[in-house]
Amino acid sequence: PCSTRNLSDHETAAEKCEEDEEGFDGCSEYLYSVQEKLGILNSGAVYAVFDYEAHNSDELNFKEGDRLIVLRKGDEWEREWWWARLSDREGYIPRNLLGLYPRVHANKSSE
């Protein structure tokens, strides 16, 4: 019932749930509850689920799988960018590229 996030539209998985799909309510409730806890659970630790190259000096570059610590979530003016630490650097990160756990890739079996 829920599509994955598309890099180009900047939506999170919760925002991609289709209202007319079977199971929408359960899917939506679960994904929004996870989204609310992101950056709070695990002492603020989140994982990059995609690579990101900074466009401004106050943003962080990161690679898929990097563990970041959220220091401040967005506010009423800017929901999409959070302030975080990666190693000894701090900067803004786009929230829609983060997950509670590292991204899992399916194993490709060789034939």
Residues 26 and 76 placed together within one structural domain of the fold: no
User: pLDDT tens digits, residue range 52-100?
Assistant: 999 999 999 999 999 999 999 987 788 889 999 999 999 999 998 998 8
Separation of alpha carbons 78 and 44, rounded Å:
19
What pLDDT does residue 90 have? 97
Residue 82 lies in a domain: yes
Residues 31 and 45 placed together within one structural domain of the fold: no
Residue 111 lies in a domain: no
Residues 22 and 68 placed together within one structural domain of the fold: no
User: pLDDT tens digits, residue range 22-55?
Assistant: 666 677 676 667 767 777 777 899 999 999 999 9
**Domain interval for residue 83:** 41-101
Residue type, 71: L
Residue 109 lies in a domain: no
Query: Is residue 26 helix, strand or coil?
Result: helix
Q: What is the pTM (predicted TM-score) of this model?
A: 0.67
Separation of alpha carbons 63 and 51, rounded Å:
4
Residues 59 and 26 placed together within one structural domain of the fold: no
